[in-house]
Amino acid sequence: MAHSYSDVSFWLDSIDGIREPDVPELPAETDTAIIGAGLTGMWTAYYLKQKDPGLDITVFEAEIVGYGASGRNGGWCMGEAYGLNTYLANASTREAGMRLYREMFNTVDEVGRVSQGEGIDCHYAKGGQLTVAQLPFHAEQIKQGVAYKHSLGFTENEYRWLEPEEAGERISTAGKHGAAFARHCAAIQPARLVRGLAEVLRAKGVKILERTPATKLASRVVTTARGSVRARRVLRATEGYTASIAGLKRNIMPLYSMVTATEPLPEDAWAEIGLAEREVFGDPRRLVIYGQRTLDNRFVLGGRANYYFGSRRRPTIPPTDANVERVAKIARDLFPVLKDFQTTHGWGGLMGVPRHWRPCVTYDSTSGMGWAGGYVGEGVAATNLAGRILSDLVLDRETELVRLPWVNDEARRWEIEPLRWIGSRGVRWIGYQADAEEARTEKPSVFWGPVFDKLSG
Ligand SMILES: Cc1cc2nc3c(=O)[nH]c(=O)nc-3n(C[C@H](O)[C@H](O)[C@H](O)COP(=O)(O)OP(=O)(O)OC[C@H]3O[C@@H](n4cnc5c(N)ncnc54)[C@H](O)[C@@H]3O)c2cc1C
């Protein structure tokens, strides 16, 4: 029987006929076990199968394919990744950081190529990304960012400052102070991508065991509530849910981000908003927002982060949650025309934050254990690159990808409670103070702003 996922996300809700999965038989053994059927798990399986078609792969998924962040995110398939700037800021890692940057640009096209080639209709539109100057001083700040990118060798075609008139034609809120345009970004329907990949993998013989949480992982064995499976390799792709596995509570901090979607808007409303090419958009505020126009003309906006004591995970976040409602209010404040239309969906999802705030891909051929993740809130495209890297590491291929700086870049563990809770709530509070002060004074926050930047990495 078809099951409703309207409380999980608009993206999953809008896919017809997702059935309650059968509880599958556990195999006694498998060659490669992948834990988690989000984009990391699916891309890793995809490239492993592509490079070694005979490989026996079993994916263990606690809920259903795409139940995690991959089926709930803002749908920005972006040619950047969290923490990339830290490699560029340091002379000794700059060259490697630039290779990573270029590879992230390629990744946006790779996602488009594979989805098209495999017949996955994920509503991919490479319309680029707008960073809107909402306040007068943002314009200077954003222009400096574009100039910095050019000084590193990026071209005007890749990053461009748009004066208010030109910017306003793309998105009305930029008509006052301008915006930056980044070419390498696509808007997608993320649940269609992750579930489409799962279909492709099943057709290639990959076993995907839904409703089968792993409780413990060790070298050559995956333990579930229904028994154990022997595996030559065990690859973890559990991101914000990592704390659910024995012994891994402090590895990745689960942080919630909230999203809202409206009913489909008529053309005259879109004429007031813009985004004719399905550009995605955000602005420089610290408690980030991310928006897109869906293929069926809904306005989707996400933002804000929330952490619950003890890395607690809530399966779903209701649309009435105060943080979800705040995101809906930001949408209406930015575009008053939205007040005339219904917000049909509101949800939350878990991002995974490592202590050093940047992704990691790692594999130990002796134990056969590896993992990829730690994308913070920027993993839609990064999961593809991580999957390509992890598959090369697993198959012991000496490629350019395994020399990228994410490889073995493991962070130390997070602090114990209540420090974790105090720290994350504190950083959020500081970010809020800085944003509120800047909105009020229209000047950069000289105290809270730098404190936030320092603490959030
Ligand atoms: C609200 C929100 C908005 C975002 N917006 C964007 C965006 O616009 N652009 C962008 O680039 N990034 C965005 N991100 C981040 C991006 O979605 C993630 O980085 C990416 O989807 C991570 O994919 P993943 O496969 O590693 O993790 P997930 O998709 O979270 O998958 C992990 C899977 O593991 C399963 N699992 C967990 N524990 C177990 C277990 N013990 N046993 C078996 N299975 C288990 C879960 O059920 C889940 O399906 C957003 C994230 C959120 C939450």
Point out the ligand 1 atom lying closest to the alpha carbon of residue 67.
49
Query: Ligand 1 centroid to 175 CA: how many Å?
Result: 34
Q: Is the pLDDT of residue 60 over 70?
A: yes
455 pLDDT tier (thresholds 50, 70, 90): confident
CA of 101 to the centre of ligand 1 (A): 22
Protein residues whose CB sits closer than 6 Å to any atom of ligand 1: 35-41, 60-63, 67-70, 72-76, 78, 213-214, 237-241, 244-245, 257, 259, 290, 302, 349-351, 373, 375, 377-381, 383
Could you tell me if residue 452 is inside a domain?
A: yes
Q: Is 439 within a domain? A: yes
Residue 365 lies in a domain: no
Indicate whether 208 belongs to any domain.
Answer: no
Whether residue 23 has pLDDT greater than 90: no
User: Is residue 17 pLDDT above 90, yes or no?
Assistant: no
Note the pTM of the prediction, 2 decimals: 0.97
For 292-348, the pLDDT digits (tens) are 999 999 999 999 888 999 999 999 999 999 999 999 999 999 999 999 999 999 999
Q: How far is the CA of 152 from the centre of ligand 1 (A)?
A: 31
Q: How far is CA 40 from CA 45, 371, 451, in A?
A: 9, 9, 33
Distance 165 CA to ligand 1 centre (A): 38
Atom of ligand 1 nearest to the CA of 292: 8
- Closest Cα to atom 25 of ligand 1: 38
| φ/ψ bin of 41: left (φ > 0), alpha (ψ from -120 to 50), beta (otherwise) | alpha
CA distance 78 to 68: 19
Question: Quick one: which atom of ligand 1 is closest to the CA of 213?
Answer: 42
pLDDT 10s digits, 155-171: 999 999 999 999 999 99
Q: How many domains does the chain have?
A: 1
Q: What are the beta bridge partners of residue 289?
A: 303
Tokens of 318: 């209701």
Rounded Cα distance, 203 and 155, in Å? 41
Residue type, 300: V
Question: Can you tell me which atom of ligand 1 is nearest the CA of 215?
Answer: 41
In a domain, 426, yes or no: yes
Q: Which residue is closest in CA terms to ligand 1's atom 4?
A: 73
454: in domain: yes
Sole residue written with tokens 């991580």: 386
User: Is the CB of residue 262 less than 8 Å from the CB of residue 341?
Assistant: yes
Segments forming the whole domain that contains residue 453: 418-457
What's residue 165's pLDDT?
97
Question: What integer pLDDT is reported at residue 453 of this predicted model?
Answer: 85
**Dist. CA 223 → ligand 1 center (Å):** 22
209 is a domain residue: no
Q: How confident is the model at residue 361 (pLDDT cuts 50, 70, 90)?
A: very high
CB 59 within 8 A of CB 37: yes
Nearest CA to ligand 1 atom 15: 377
Are β-strands 76-78 and 299-306 bridged in parallel, bridged antiparallel, or unpaired?
A: unpaired
> Measuring from atom 14 of ligand 1, which residue has the nearest CA?
377
What is the mean pLDDT of the segment spanning 276-288?
96
Domain assignment present for residue 223? The answer is no
Let me know the angle formed at the C-alpha of 188 by 67 and 131, rounded to the nearest 5 degrees: 115
> What is the token pair recorded at 367?
């134990």
- Between the CA of 142 and the centroid of ligand 1 the distance, in Å, is 29
Q: By alpha-carbon position, which residue is closest to atom 9 of ligand 1?
A: 76
pLDDT in tens, 62-110: 999 999 999 999 999 999 999 999 999 999 999 999 999 999 999 999 9
- Close Cβ partners of 261 (under 8 Å, ≥ 6 residues apart): 10, 294, 298, 299, 300, 343, 344, 345, 346
82 CA distance to ligand 1 centroid (A)?
15
**Residue written as token pair 């985004």:** 275
| Mean pLDDT, residues 14-41 taken together | 94
What's the CA-to-centroid distance between 31 and ligand 1, angstroms? 24
- Examine the pLDDT at 1 and tell me if it is beyond 80: no
Band of pLDDT at residue 382, cut at 50, 70 and 90:
very high
% helix / strand / coil in the chain, to the nearest 5?
A: 40, 25, 40
Q: pLDDT value at position 457? A: 64
When the pLDDT of each residue in the chain is averaged and rounded to a whole number, the result is 96
Q: Is the pLDDT of residue 420 over 90?
A: yes
pLDDT at 285: 95
Distance of CA 38 from the midpoint of ligand 1 (Å): 6
The mean per-residue pLDDT over the stretch 354-367 comes to 97
